[in-house]
Structure 1
Amino acid sequence: MSYLSSLFSLFGGLGMFLYGMTVMSDGMQKAASSKMSKFLNIVTENRVMAVILGAGITALVQSSSATTVMVVGFVNAGILNLSQSVGIIMGANIGTTITAWMVSLTQVSGSALSIFKPEFFAPLLVGFGSFRLLFGKKGNDDLLADFCVGVGLIFIGLEFMSSAVSPYANSPVFSRAFQIMGGNPILGILTGAVVTGLIQSSAASVSILQTLALSGAVPRVAGFYITLGQNIGTCVTAMISSAGASRTAKRAAMIHLLFNVTGAVLFGILIFLMSLPFASFFQGRLSPVEISMFHTIFNISCTIVLYPFADLLVALSGKLVLETKKDKEEAENPNHYTEVEKSLIQHLDLRILESPAIAIAAAKSEVVNMARITEENIHHATDILLEEKTEEIPEIFKQEKVIDNMQKLLTEYLIHIGNLSLNEMQKLEVNNMFNTITDIERAGDHAENIAEQAKFAEEHAISFSEIGQDDIRKISKTVVESFHASIEAFEKNDLDMVVKTAHLEDQVDEMEEDMRETHIERLNSGACAPQAGVVFLDVISDLERISDHADNIAGYVKAMI
């Protein structure tokens, strides 16, 4: 029963640790994710800034694997190029050392210092955070509560794991296993890589090693080799994530693997050579603090040593990730995919969902693209009607299909984003994007209606009077200006554009009402043919409704400001 109880404690402790990391990183992402996309924009050709960014993002999400998966998504979506991705990948390895240092705090000893031990105040943090979540104001994010609960669970989980393995610290099984690993670098590195690959988290596997080290069961040389392997194992997640992505994205994942394998091989050789003259030191017992120190020194040293060879890593990834038949077909047939597939399927990469803020920014950019296409279709449709360019009507219908497909794909992507851990402002922004793409699509439908009226006019030899043409030209110009202003308001969160859209919408309403009255007067006087009158009224009605949708879009922006 004692063995079973220890196993349950170990499993439960690991579960609390992983869940605590998730809760804590969610809270930290909500607090800082609004700035992530801004930081990403800073990373142009400055690789040093890319390293800093990679370390910062990883420190927030507590996982170098998650950061690298995001990088694969960014590269696949065209947000980053391979040269920029190298720096972020290098920085990710540095950022992941934060978790190891948090765990090493558990080694604080001494009665006077016991109050500083994380497991001493961890229950207080969980209690404080839980009470804030239970009795705080409903409907609001409590980032402090998330952070406190997450940190508390991390250290309680570590205490459970430590308690579970401590009775077996002197077990001959542990001792023999680590002796074998210490004497065989390949086996030690392989063990760290496999364990990390299985649990998909280098932070968690390092923490498990630190827990074992806390009980005094791990020789230094074995712990060092296992730590090197853990850095290789963390590449598994990104390699899996790159499956099905573009060749460039696969190369980003390969760069991560090359970087970590090269670093592990270099340090593995160095440790093996040093362990020969200093055998007594390397066979000594490893402490959690020493693991944190080695983990940090290893990752920083690898970045410094390999930083000058970043372009070589990029080139080598191109040699290892060969061009497939599919890649060649796409290069030879650039029109193999439709415009909407090329812009949306590539740019709205599901890997970007690892960072909700950047996923929202990517979706917003594509909503703007959808709106631009719709604006052009509106302008083109009225131009066809007035200039009688009926041969261009099929182009309007073709673009309308693109707009419909964009709405479908954007809606699906926004549903994915909506299922993420978002703060209140992000939830509002996603909801507003849902409504915005609906209004944009409906505006596109009205442009299609105008094109159909142009087709009807051609088939029935209908023409407008000069007054009628001037009226349509005048109102359509104001409508397009109104729709354009609403897009500007949406893209830039510009209150001035919101006000301008509302002002133009009022003008359109007045125009539509005046034109309708004067046109009915022309019909009654016989100055205008009845069929032409019906087409005219339908067209100005469609234009007025487009302006209404523009006003709706501006209204969603106003609610955000």
Structure 2
Amino acid sequence: MSNPLISLELWGGLFGGLALFLFGMDIMTKALKLTAGDHMKDLLARFTRNRFVGAGMGAIITSIVQSSSVTTVLLVGFISAGIMSMSQSIPVIIGANIGTTVTAQILAFKVTKLALILIAVGFFLSLIAKKGYWRQYGLMILGLGLVFYGMSVMSEGMKPLRSYEPFISFMITLKSPLIAVIIGAVFTAVIQSSSATAGIMIVMAGQGLIGLEPAIALILGSNIGTCVTAGLASIGKPREAVRTAVVHTLFNITGALLWVAFIPQLADIARWISPVHNELNGLARLAAESPRQIANVHTVFNMVNACIFIGFTTQMARLVEWLVPDKPIRVDEDLLPKYLDESLLTTPSIALEATSREIARMGAFTRNMVAESMPLALTGNKLEVKKITAKDKIIDSLYYHIIEYLRMISSSDLSSSQSKRLVNLIQTANGLERIGDIIATDLVVSSTKRINENVIASEQTVKVLMSFHNEVVKALDSVLKAVSNGDKKLAKNVKSIKDDVARMNKEITRHKILRLTADAPNRISTYAREVEVVDIFDNIFRIVRRISRLQAPPKKNSSKNDSTEVTE
């Protein structure tokens, strides 16, 4: 082994194969995010209300996408979007650890022979289908082939290690479980893939280079090391993302440390449940039996950990919320988006979900502005009029960030339904921003004129206009809930409110005519200001109706009048 060419072949095979393995995992994960994002989102949202079902879904989804990080990204998006609570996400995280063991189970089979076939099929499929899901399917197959091929290259590269003295000395140190756990944690933290660590253990076992007990200790350490990935990903992210990383870290570290003292027992269980090759002896038997034993023990201790911790999800949530409390909100934070995390852009379905939540947040500021605007228009002073324009700055700032974020999403390979939703979100944001502008400009101008002209609204006028205003706010509330929850029934409620608003508009028109003919001071100015206010809120209601139609589009056989109103 002193020959530098042999050393170059050894390390080149080991790290080159590892690079292919990680590159294949990255290609496969990205393709799966794009193709499975919508389905995973729907499954998680629907089946996480029960902790046991949630753990099962976490295991199933992670086994499909072959990456617990994808599942974690989905969870962060849901928690940020208010679809899921922290306590609901914990069972999914627990289940995700079971799902990651499927990778080891697959790799324990002799799958490397399929590597070049999968690479060829995946490459040509992605080349022919340049767009759409078929291209992503091709990339998935290509990525899987690269994973298998990386395993094959590592396996060939490791053969000389059997007689490599430094390696033999290193393996002796792994007889100490604690040292092995630390090495496994550090190595996994560096390569940021517990699946790769498990793959290397299986390759080494297949060459007879490592025993079962040291391999178990290294894999326990990999469960700790993979927490570094989640921790790094949460830096600078919202508190929900940090809490998710803390849950992941607490669960993995505690679960790994529980088993350090029971590694011999775990090894006995693995030997008991795994196939035995009595026809072989020595190194050949070790190479034949160890890969499956490693894969099985990886699954067993993660499943047992899940059974132990599943009963304490509520307590874990409280602990994490205590460890990572909410930050006090500063005034300038209102100008910044809360949910638009750029790490979600690799999963467009979740990025769109986060945008929907941010638009709902923008809508809450718009709603407050609308709610305060009628009293301002009727009785507000100059200082109050000036203050409301500052609130429009928040809406404008959020609008800018939302549109920029949607622009970044649009550069992804979106499905037809995702593209339609993106356009829908843009139009919704446009409508809410327009409402803010109407109040900050038209209403402020009208209120300033009222103050300068010394117009005083009568008690009856205030009562009539406030009733009209309340209906507009009621419609806006329904629309914002529909945007936030995706509830089409709430959006359709605006159609029923339309009749009430039209009736009130007629009553106000009659009232205005009576005011115009009354023998009262400033009747012309009073009439003009009332007309302006009614027109302003009528325009706001029209925008609200358009937004409601975006959430619950009219049927194709809708009347001509309905179709016209969409383009008002």
Q: TM-score, normalised by structure 1?
A: 0.75
Map of 1:553 onto structure 2 = 547
Q: Distance in 1 between matches of 2:425 and 2:411?
A: 15
Do residues 211 (structure 1) and 203 (structure 2) align?
A: yes
Structure 2 gaps, min length 5: 272-281, 556-568
2: CA distance, partners of 1:418 / 1:92: 29
Query: Given the alignment, which residue of 484, 494, 510 partners 2:488?
Result: 494
> Structure 1 stretch 183-192 or stretch 125-134: which is displaced more?
125-134
Which of 447, 456, 464 lines up with 2:449 in the alignment?
456
Tell me which residue corresponds to 1:114: none
Q: 2:101 aligns with which of 97, 107, 131?
A: 97
In the alignment, what sits opposite 1:133? 129
2:55 pairs, out of 29, 51, 57, with 51
AA aligned opposite 1:457: R
CA apart distance, 1:41:
3.9
Find 2:355's aligned residue among 335, 356, 363. Answer: 363
Residue 231 (structure 1) aligned with residue 235 (structure 2): no
The answer to whether residue 296 in structure 2 is matched with residue 293 in structure 1 is yes
User: Is the CA contact 2:335–2:398 (under 8 Å) kept in the aligned structure 1?
Assistant: no
Offset from partner CA, 1:446-465 (integer Å, 9 cap, x none): 02221331232122224689
**2:36 aligned partner:** 32
Q: Does 1:179 align with 2:182?
A: no
1:221 counterpart residue number: 213
- Deviation per residue, 1:201-220 (Å, 9 max, x gap): 11122223323333332222
Q: Contact conserved, 1:118 with 1:155, CA < 8 A, in 2?
A: yes
Asked if 1:122 is matched to 2:118, the reply is: yes
Cα displacement string for residues 114-152 of structure 1 (whole angstroms, at most 9, x for unaligned residues): xxx432631343145224423xxx567754334333333
Q: 1:21 aligns with which of 22, 25, 33?
A: 25
Match of 2:151 among 147, 151, 158: 158
Residue number in structure 2 paired with 1:64: 68
Partners of 1:80 and 1:488 lie apart in 2 by 16
Change (3 A) 1:7 1:483: same
Q: Which amino acid aligns with 1:553?
A: I
* SS across alignment from 1:106: coil
Q: 1:60 Cα deviation (Å)?
A: 3.9
Contact 2:16–2:153 (8 Å) recurs in 1: yes
2:336–2:397 CA contact under 8 A, matched in 1: no
Contact 1:225 1:268 in 2 (8 A): yes
CA 1:242 to 1:190, structure 2 compared with 1: closer, same or farther past 3 Å? Answer: same
1:52 Cα deviation from its structure 2 partner: 1.7
1:295 Cα deviation after fit: 1.2
The aligned amino acid for 1:98 is V
Cα contact 1:72–1:253 (8 A) shared by 2? no
| Separation in structure 2 between the aligned mates of residue 50 and residue 536 of structure 1, nearest angstrom | 56
Q: Following TM superposition, by how much is the alpha carbon of 1:476 offset from its aligned partner in structure 2, in angstroms?
A: 6.2
Change beyond 3 A, Cα 1:42–1:486: closer
Between the aligned partners of 2:263 and 2:205, the Cα distance in structure 1 is: 19
* Structure 1 position 105, deviation (Å): 2.9
Q: Is the 8 A contact 2:491 2:549 kept in 1?
A: no
Measured after TM superposition, the shift of residue 225 of structure 1 is 1.6
Letter in structure 2 aligned against 1:494 = K
Q: Distance in 2 between matches of 1:553 and 1:200?
A: 44
1:106 aligns with 110
**3-state SS of paired residue (2:209):** coil
Contact 2:211 2:290 in 1 (8 A): no
Write out aligned runs for 1:333-348 (5 A).
336-338=329-331, 341=334, 344-345=337-338, 347-348=339-340
The gaps in structure 1 that reach 5 residues or longer are 109-116
Indicate the larger mover: 99-108 or 247-256: 247-256
Which residue of 380, 383, 394 maps to 1:402?
394
CA distance in 2, matches of 1:253, 1:477: 44
Could you say which residue in structure 1 is the equivalent of 2:276? none
- TM-aligned CA distance change 1:424 to 1:493, over 3 Å: farther
> Which residues of 2 match residues 158-557 of structure 1 at below 5 A?
158-163=151-156, 165-173=157-165, 176-177=168-169, 179-244=171-236, 250=242, 252-272=244-264, 284-285=286-287, 287-308=290-311, 321=323, 336-338=329-331, 341=334, 344-345=337-338, 347-348=339-340, 356-386=348-378, 393=385, 396-411=388-403, 413-414=405-406, 417-418=409-410, 422-448=414-440, 449-462=442-455, 487=480, 490=483, 492=486, 494=488, 497=491, 535=529, 539=533, 542-543=536-537, 545-547=539-541, 549-550=543-544, 552-554=546-548, 556-557=550-551
Do 1:169 and 1:215's aligned partners in 2 also have CA atoms closer than 8 Å?
no
Amino acid at match of 1:155: F
Structure-1 residue corresponding to 2:91: 87
Confirm or deny: 8 A CA contact 2:424 2:550 kept in the other structure. yes
Cα distance, 1:296 vs structure 2: 0.9
Q: Following the alignment from structure 1 to structure 2, what is the Cα–Cα distance between the partners of residues 303 and 478?
A: 51
C-alpha contact (below 8 Å) 2:116/2:149 kept by paired residues = no
TM-superposed CA distance for 1:266, in Å, is 3.4
1:315 and 1:552 map into 2 onto residues whose CA distance is 42
Instruction: For 2:79 and 2:380, locate their aligned partners in 1 and report how far apart those are by CA, in whole Å.
Output: 45
Once the two structures are TM-superposed, the CA of residue 231 in structure 1 deviates from its matched residue by: 1.0
Distance change (3 Å), C-alpha of 1:543 and 1:316? closer
Q: Distance in 1 between matches of 2:175 and 2:133?
A: 55
* Residue 137 of structure 2 is aligned to residue 144 of structure 1: yes
Q: Which amino acid aligns with 2:488?
A: D
Amino acid at match of 2:179: L
Alignment partners' CA distance in 2, 1:256 and 1:140: 31
Structure 2 vs 1, CA of residues 254 and 380 (structure 1 numbering), >3 Å: closer, same or farther? Answer: closer
CA distance in 2, matches of 1:317, 1:43: 23
- What residue identity is the alignment partner of 1:54? G
Aligned to 1:112: none
Q: Which position in structure 2 is the counterpart of 1:111?
A: none
Amino acid at match of 1:125: V
Contact kept, 8 Å, 2:122 with 2:140, in 1: the verdict is no
Indicate conservation of the 8 Å contact 2:377/2:533, yes or no: no
Identity %: 28
| Offset, 1:183 | 1.5
Q: Which moved more, 1:65-74 or 1:172-181?
A: 65-74
- Aligned-partner Cα distance in 2 for 1:234–1:542: 56
Secondary structure at 2:109's aligned position in 1?
helix
Hey, what's the Cα distance between the residues in 2 that align with 1:490 and 1:316?
Answer: 32
Matched residue type, 1:154: V
Q: What do the CA deviations read for 1:41-76 (whole angstroms, capped 9, x no partner)?
A: 456663212322322332244223454466567667
8 Å contact from structure 1 (residues 69, 238) kept in 2: no
Per-residue Cα deviation, 1:220-248 (whole angstroms, up to 9, x for no partner): 22222211111111111122334456778
Aligned length: 532
